[in-house]
Structure 1
Amino acid sequence: MKKLNTLILIALLAICTTAMGQRYVSEVFTDVQVTTNVPYGFNASIINLLDTDTTNDAHPLAHPLLMDVYQPAGDTETDRPVVLYFHTGSFIPFPANGITGGHKGDSVCVEICTRLAKMGYVAASVDYRLGWNPLDPEELIRRWFLINAAYRGVQDARTCIRYFKKTAAEDGNPWGIDPNKIVLFGQGTGGYISLNTAALDDYNKTLIPKFLLPGPVPMIIEGVNGNVWGTSVGQVPPGYPIFTPGDTLCYPNWPGYDSDFQLSVNLGGALGDTSWIDPGQPPLISFHTPDDPFAPYVEGTVLVPVVNFPVVEVQGSYLAVRLANLYGNNDVFANADFTDPYTAAANAHNDGWQGLYPFLTGDPNDSSPWDIWAWDNPNATELCDSVRARMYIDTIMNYFAPRACLALGLGCDLSMYSAAEEILDVGTVGLKVSPNPATAYIRFETNAEYPIQHIYVYDLNGRLVKVHTNVKANDFTMQRHSLAKGTYVAKVIFEDGIVTEKILFH
């Protein structure tokens, strides 16, 4: 009879959880609140210097850095993880870039940020500084322009991180975020930003041959461009090309805060150099089409979209994630032992490098199958297959969700991503739950050879209402705290399986 009751509870739990979903794993909110054009800093842009209108001021101009912030409507949590989403666009303003996206309001940015907010995250679609000359006839000059643009993007990403940390510490945490649970999520050009922000943590890493001009002269000079964090002034000295001596190229923003984040995600993009990856950096989740003609999956030359001019040899998602695995940065994924269909599909083609999802589209020209654009997009050469694109986004979100839970320590119940759990006999593990019914606390006790690993508590609608991870004890007292009066299902996880118990609070 006890075994039958356990099976009934398991079935109830599975049905309810599937129906209602779980925060950070699936969409549990129906509405999203969006605050547009939030300034997260200001900095010097060179975009006006590239304008053919000679009446423009020939100096870099400081301007606000803006983002749109997405939050789950009606949410009462005040310590939510935040995802900073960076759009594509080749560091060139839309529509001059010749592609279908290039700003924080792109359809795919809205789609993914909305989904993240419905999952319980705070998501910010972030604009960053643009400007380089992809059409310069000299490859070395194109490279100089591009590495400078990417460097500014890295600085802006870190500025945005510090903005959220500053507002949490000084301004009453208006966005309700946990400043120690931050994700950088980049698409296309934004993928360059998220990958390189994870790896480029020392200015000296830029001093490699491919980023040196004849002389040799570094393409990035810390005193001119500011440091990699964007917390020092960058000012043009006499004799520096293009700019006027005294021009400011970097203004510090929120220098009193660190720029640490916990997870990097990229859809396409590439890394300036794999020598930048070190042990101890944030874990990487990478989605990439191996036939990407613009940003290599393994290693190759970056090409300017539309005109296909070569710029610089870089390394792609495959090599970046491979090193993240070898250095232990992705151990949090490798040890998860997921067996869900999304993991299986990725593992069929990623050579065992956890966190890497190759999209085999069958079309060598399809570098961004997740992309969505409006029918009247001025750069579109065909109608968008939004149904297909959203299917790719479904895969992205389902692969991302459990790994983000692990990387951020969100305490999600991820058992549905693993092999079917063995239902253990209560008598075998010696589980005692008392007092039950209870008023203030419940004590869980087990036999010495069956230490409790985790405890997840669900209400009868399948909502996860309490989590205790890494218990690793045979005697654990769970405090009631704010749990309402009622009946709950406690899922007690052991190394060899699970036991469920119905618990009641008066």
Structure 2
Amino acid sequence: MSHYLLIFSITIGMVFSFGESAECAPQQRVRFKDIVYPDISVKKNISYFPDSRDDVKEKYYLLDFYEPAGDTSTLRPLIIWIHGGGFKFGKKTSRGIPLWSKEFAQKGYVCAAINYRLSKKNPLSKRADLVSACSDAMEDVRKVIDFFRKNSTQYRIDLSKIILAGNSAGGITALQSVYSNPELLEYPNQAESNPPANPKANPDNVVAIINFWGAFLNINWLKNAEVPIVSVHGDKDKIVPPDNPEKGLFGSIVIHREADKLQIPNQIKIYRGFAHELQKGFNPLWVSRAVKKRWSEAGEFAAAFLYDQLFG
């Protein structure tokens, strides 16, 4: 009897031991979806358009390059982060840009947080000035892409996986850069004659867009390409309304609805009760810890979408 009891005790012990081991086993972290690199490296103030005048170059044509510390991969997807500020204010270190650049670098991406030319006119109140400023920003984004094409070996860039990302004016720039071009910006209003689908859309073969509270200037441009879009927006946003095109801005809810009709891969996350930049009330001068937490959540949502589209 004691012999059988001994065998029974050993068997039960093995079962419980196995269960505990399985339960305690660390979950496998997945590159491009989870944080797999605790540390990052940042190279600051890299000139991406060295042929410009020194005074312009030093003010606008600069980027900060974020990469995972210790990463030995030879081909890495690139996210170009474009700051907000109404095309009038802001820089590569503004608001959420360093946070998203760091967190996506920790997931295994490389990120370029960029400055671009800002308007000296009134893009916040005049449509013509908005279109002109957006066109300048789009041209500067193309300069950034050209820079990395020429230096892809040095920075170990996978040129088949370039992603544009931005918040507010940066999201507007990212969307227009892929689905439009400076010529099409002459037709920004839904009520105007709609030009035919333009084969020059997405000339840089961007593979995805992260749109944080941005918008299209003309929703018909969605017909010009089929590039996946992930959007995050506050439903109380009065600056870039998510679902009210009366301002001539077609926000994230409109984009989601129309992209579904066109079968363009897309996802949207709406923050109920929050305004521009996911704040309770938009404040360009101060950001709380709770807002930064929502920004980080927005990044996690976008990362999961990118992983499914590009690596899943």
From 257, 278, 283, the counterpart of 1:322: 257
What TM-score do the two structures reach when normalised by structure 2? Answer: 0.80
- Indicate which of 115, 140, 146 corresponds to 1:162: 146
Q: Please state if 1:404 is matched with 2:303.
A: no
Say yes or no: does 1:124 pair with 2:108: no
Residue 23, structure 1, aligned to residue 5, structure 2: no
Whether the 8 Å CA contact 1:69–1:125 is kept in 2: the answer is yes
The answer (yes or no) to whether the contact 1:279–1:327 under 8 Å persists in 2 is: no
1:368, distance to aligned residue in structure 2 (A): 1.0
Q: Distance in 1 between matches of 2:300 and 2:168?
A: 20
- CA drift of 1:280 comes to 3.9
1:92 has 2:102 as partner: no
Matched residue SS, 1:148 = helix
CA contact (8 A) 1:132 1:146 kept: no
Query: 2:270 aligns to what?
Result: 358
Alignment of 1:34 onto 2:18: no
Q: 1:357 is matched by which residue type in structure 2?
A: K
Q: How far, CA to CA, are the matches of 1:206 and 1:265 in structure 2?
A: 24
Total equivalences in the alignment:
287
Equivalent-residue separation in structure 1 for 2:117 and 2:191 (angstroms): 20
Deviation of 1:85 after TM superposition, in Å, equals 0.6
Match of 1:113 among 101, 108, 123: 101
The answer (yes or no) to whether the contact 2:61–2:115 under 8 Å persists in 1 is: yes
Tell me which residue corresponds to 2:239: 294
Which position in structure 1 is the counterpart of 2:204? 259
**Residue number in structure 1 paired with 2:76:** 80
Change (3 A) 1:209 1:263: closer
- 2: CA distance, partners of 1:389 / 1:358: 14
Letter paired with 1:404: L
SS in 2 for 1:117: helix
Question: Aligned partners of 2:297 and 2:39: how far apart in 1?
Answer: 22
Change (3 A) 1:103 1:43: farther
CA displacement 1:43-76 (0-9 Å, x = unmatched): 889xxxxxxxxxxxxxxx8536111000111111
Contact in 2 for aligned 1:25/1:402 (Cα 8 Å): yes
Change (3 A) 1:264 1:370: farther
Q: Is the 1:279–1:324 Cα contact (8 Å) retained in structure 2?
A: no
Post-superposition shift, 1:322?
A: 2.0
Distance in 2 separating the partners of 1:163 and 1:370: 35
Question: Structure 1's 13 and 127: CA in aligned 2 closer, same or farther, altered over 3 A?
Answer: farther
Shift of 1:289: 0.8
Residues 195 and 72 (structure 1), Cα distance of their counterparts in 2 relative to 1, 3 Å cut: same
Q: CA RMSD in A?
A: 3.3
Q: Is the 8 Å Cα contact of residues 135 and 182 (structure 2) preserved in structure 1?
A: no
| Matched residue SS, 1:16 | coil
Work out whether residues 88 and 190 of structure 1, in 8 Å CA contact, stay in contact via their aligned partners in 2. Answer: yes
Equivalent position of 1:384 in the other structure: 287
Question: Structure 2 vs 1, CA of residues 281 and 385 (structure 1 numbering), >3 Å: closer, same or farther?
Answer: same
User: 1: CA distance between counterparts of 2:271 and 2:82?
Assistant: 20
Tell me, in whole angstroms, the C-alpha distance in 2 between the residues paired with 1:328 and 1:166. 34
- Counterpart secondary structure, 1:82: strand
Q: Which runs of 5+ in 1 are unaligned?
A: 46-60, 94-101, 217-226, 230-257, 303-312, 331-353, 372-376, 412-506
1:174 maps onto 2:154 in alignment: yes
Say which of 273, 276, 299 aligns to 2:218.
273
Distance 1:278 1:211 in 2: 16
Identity %: 23
* Aligned equivalents of 2:100, 2:267: Cα separation in 1: 19
Partners of 1:359 and 1:301 in 2: how far apart? 21
SS at match of 2:86: coil
Structure in which a larger fraction of residues adopt helix: 2
Q: CA deviation at 1:265?
A: 0.7
Q: Residue 133 of structure 1: CA displacement?
A: 2.1
**Amino acid corresponding to residue 42 of structure 2 in structure 1:** V
Aligned to 1:394: 296
Q: Secondary structure at the match of 1:150?
A: helix
Distance 2:117 2:204 in 1: 18
Q: 1:149 to 1:198 in 2, by over 3 A?
A: same
Q: 1:89 to 1:180 in 2, by over 3 A?
A: same
What TM-score do you get using the length of structure 1 for normalisation?
Answer: 0.51
Greater Rg over alpha carbons, structure: 1
Tell whether 2:168 aligns with 1:192: no
